[in-house]
Amino acid sequence: MSNTALHDTFGRPLASLRISVTDRCNMRCRYCMPEDEYVWLPRESILTFEEITRLVGVFASLGVHKVRLTGGEPLLRHDLASLVAMIARDPRIADLALTTNGLLLAKHAADLRRAGLQRVTVSLDTLRPDRMLAFAKSARHADVLAGIAAARAAGFDRVKINAVVMRGFNDDELADLIEFGRPHGAEVRFIEYMDVGGATRWSTDQVVSQREMLGLLGRRYGAIEPVAGDQRAPAERFRLPDGATFGIIASTTAPFCASCDRSRLTADGHWFLCLYAAQGIDLREPLRHGASDQELAALIAGPWRGRADRGAEERLAVRERGALYPIESLRADPHREMHTRGG
Ligand code: SAM
């Protein structure tokens, strides 16, 4: 970890970088990419692996020590394992992780592991293939399960499962998902449905709050205890009476802005200081026009020092809360999409 970590106006360190390696996805989840077609980032604007690695190096020089590759669907990016290997060579990156929908994981898990990937999170919202088909327009439920098994077999012993919980969709599957995770050694993290860009059909009544999730699980299992842990982690962890653990990311009803140390880099090199930020900072142009590492570091350090974003807390204060952006506004600026800035 770097001693030179930068802090923002609320004392939050620049520590964690999520990199969207592609805006493309092979699923169409209703809470993220409900449309069939999107305005995609121009191909020539997409950062090369060398460009991403160079930026990671600059971020690392400023204190970033956690990197998560995401998207879009990161495994759609050709030869992702090579990027993993390039980033893994930097000893300052102590934690290198991937978030994937799992469709292509069985094919790539072993290569990713060999390349130096440390952790994998697989998104799995339902155990029912018919629900996945209706909800995410994908008939490949079995591939996700095969991906989870392959990740374990490849040596990822801390696979996590992300499940966005939505009322009327999968709120009757919380216990089933925990039970599914047990033999796979996979801890489930339930995520409250967020009104991020892309969630154009979001409404408050579909959000199942942390409190409600704990109620549902408490009725099934008995007393649930909180697990003390990392204050900076977005998930609060809990233990069932039988010892099994799970997490809840309550970004909608109890946001973690106060401890948020993450920022996001899009596949075309725009840097966002908050998932809800209206604007990003273009690092690609200076990168491609000969900026030195010191110059790039200055372009990052200044905005981080001045960072005052509390996007999720501000959303909490909105009275008539609905979708953050309508589809027309997302088409006009795809950088507002969750799948562009990296979930
Ligand atoms: N395609 C990869 C995947 O499915 O994991 C990575 C990108 S995806 C945007 C990253 C995570 O964001 C997934 O776990 C997904 O469930 C979550 N996500 C997307 N839209 C969300 C929303 N509206 N509310 C809460 N979580 C959301």
Identify the pLDDT of residue 231.
73
Residue 207 pairs with which residues in a beta bridge?
Answer: 166
Protein residue with least CA distance to atom 9, ligand 1: 343
Instruction: Decide: 103 and 140 in contact? Cβ < 8 Å.
Output: yes
Rounded to a whole number of angstroms, the distance between the first and last alpha carbons of the chain is 24
Predicted confidence band of residue 4 (pLDDT cuts 50, 70, 90): low
Protein residue with least CA distance to atom 22, ligand 1: 194
Query: What spacing in Å lies between the alpha carbon of 162 and ligand 1's midpoint?
Result: 8
Q: Among 132, 216, 202, 255, which residue's Cα sits nearest to residue 122?
A: 132
Helix axes 80-88, 105-115, angle to 10 degrees: 20
pTM of the model: 0.97
Identify the pLDDT of residue 285.
98
Task: Give the angle subtended at the CA of 137 by the CAs of 113 and 146, to the nearest 5°.
Answer: 30
- What number of CA atoms fall less than 13 Å from residue 283's CA on the CB side? 30
Per-residue pLDDT reduced to its tens digit, 28-65: 999 999 999 999 999 999 999 999 999 999 999 999 99
Instruction: Decide: 20 and 341 in contact? Cβ < 8 Å.
Output: yes
Q: Where are the beta strands (DSSP E) in the chain?
A: 16-20, 66-70, 95-100, 119-123, 160-165, 187-192, 225-227, 236-239, 245-249, 262-265, 270-272, 281-282
Q: For residue 78, how far is the Cα from the chain centroid?
A: 20
Protein residue with least CA distance to atom 17, ligand 1: 343
| C-alpha to C-alpha distance for 133 and 13, rounded to whole angstroms | 40
Identify the pLDDT of residue 1.
45
Bridge-based pairing of strands 66-70 and 281-282 is unpaired
Query: What spacing in Å lies between the alpha carbon of 29 and ligand 1's midpoint?
Result: 8
**Residue range 226-236: average pLDDT?**
85
Average pLDDT over the chain, rounded to whole? 96
Per-residue pLDDT reduced to its tens digit, 125-179: 999 999 999 999 999 999 999 999 999 999 999 899 999 999 999 999 999 999 9
**Residue range 70-74: average pLDDT?**
97
Helix (H) / strand (E) element for 285: namely: helix 284-288
Q: Is residue 219 over pLDDT 80?
A: yes
Identify the pLDDT of residue 2.
46
Per-residue pLDDT reduced to its tens digit, 274-287: 999 999 999 999 99
Query: What spacing in Å lies between the alpha carbon of 127 and ligand 1's midpoint?
Result: 17
Amino acid at 299: L
